[in-house]
Structure 1
Amino acid sequence: MEKQNIETEKLLGIKKLLDNHKELLKIDPKKDKLKQQVIQVKDNQELLMKVSAMIEVCVVALEGENSFTPLHKINVDAKVSATIVLEFALELLPYGQMQCLDHIEELIKSSNNF
């Protein structure tokens, strides 16, 4: 009976960890088995800047450096676009999720000691 209480406490601890980490992937309530990730941006302009930088980097990669000249943007800097994309990719890395999983792993390991 005591072991069952300990296991219940561990499960409640895991649930609390998961509830406290808002940056974790969440199940999309509209689409079963799919998860969603929230991307935080300051405003619409920042979102457009990040998406356009990703497109610019892809075009530069396909066409070669300094050959990307869309009509609405004559002065595209490939290095600036690549930097924005790399910074955005770093923001997407799930550091909080990995930290939460480490804590869950510690809880599970500690429950095996009983």
Structure 2
Amino acid sequence: MKKKKLKTLKEIRKRHRNHMGLLKQDSGNPLGNHTISLEVKDNNDLLLNIASLLEVCVFALDGNGMLLSPNNQNVTKHDSVCRVLELVLNILPHSQMDFMDYVTEKLNGLDNAKTKSSE
């Protein structure tokens, strides 16, 4: 049982190291596109940023206020909201959620093995 726990913890540690820094974008893009880095304190901060962007979209679509700069009068509210929604899709924390699912699965496996061995 101890060997299985140690192996599981080593696997989790290895994946955790691989996922550290995923909140920052790698500037070495092989397609030649420029990337923009979004600095956040933690996953909660990232989720707050995503929620705020979505709230702005809801306000822009439902509200009567004009959110466009006078320099961008040729851009429609719909176009601006679409760009923000695309940004939101790009910053969703897919890797972090995959990692959390992996950790949960491994820890549940340890709990199930512990329960079976004590029976």
TM-score relative to the length of structure 1: 0.58
Which residues of structure 1 form unaligned runs of 5+?
Answer: 25-36, 48-53
Any conservation in 2 of the 1:21–1:96 contact (CA below 8 Å)? yes
CA deviations 1:46-76 (Å, max 9, x no partner) are 78xxxxxx7x9699569726x4553422312
CA deviations 1:1-36 (Å, max 9, x no partner) are xx3222111110101122233564xxxxxxxxxxxx
Please give the alpha-carbon distance, in whole angstroms, between the structure 2 residues aligned to 1:40 and 1:81: 26
Residue in 1 that maps onto 2:42: none
**Cα distance, 1:80 vs structure 2:** 0.7
Judging changes above 3 Å, is the alpha-carbon distance between structure 1 residues 70 and 93 closer, same or farther for their aligned structure 2 residues?
closer
Please give the alpha-carbon distance, in whole angstroms, between the structure 2 residues aligned to 1:84 and 1:60: 12
Structure number having the greater helix percentage = 2
Structure 1 letter corresponding to 2:34: D
Please give the alpha-carbon distance, in whole angstroms, between the structure 1 residues aligned to 2:68 and 2:3: 65
Alignment of 1:6-85 (within 5 A): 6-21=4-19, 24=22, 37-39=23-25, 42-43=33-34, 60=60, 64=64, 67-68=66-67, 70-85=69-84
How well do the aligned residues superpose, as a CA RMSD in angstroms? Answer: 3.4
Structure 1 letter corresponding to 2:75: V
Please give the alpha-carbon distance, in whole angstroms, between the structure 2 residues aligned to 1:6 and 1:100: 19
Alignment of 1:90-105 (within 5 A): 90-105=89-104
Identity score, percent: 21
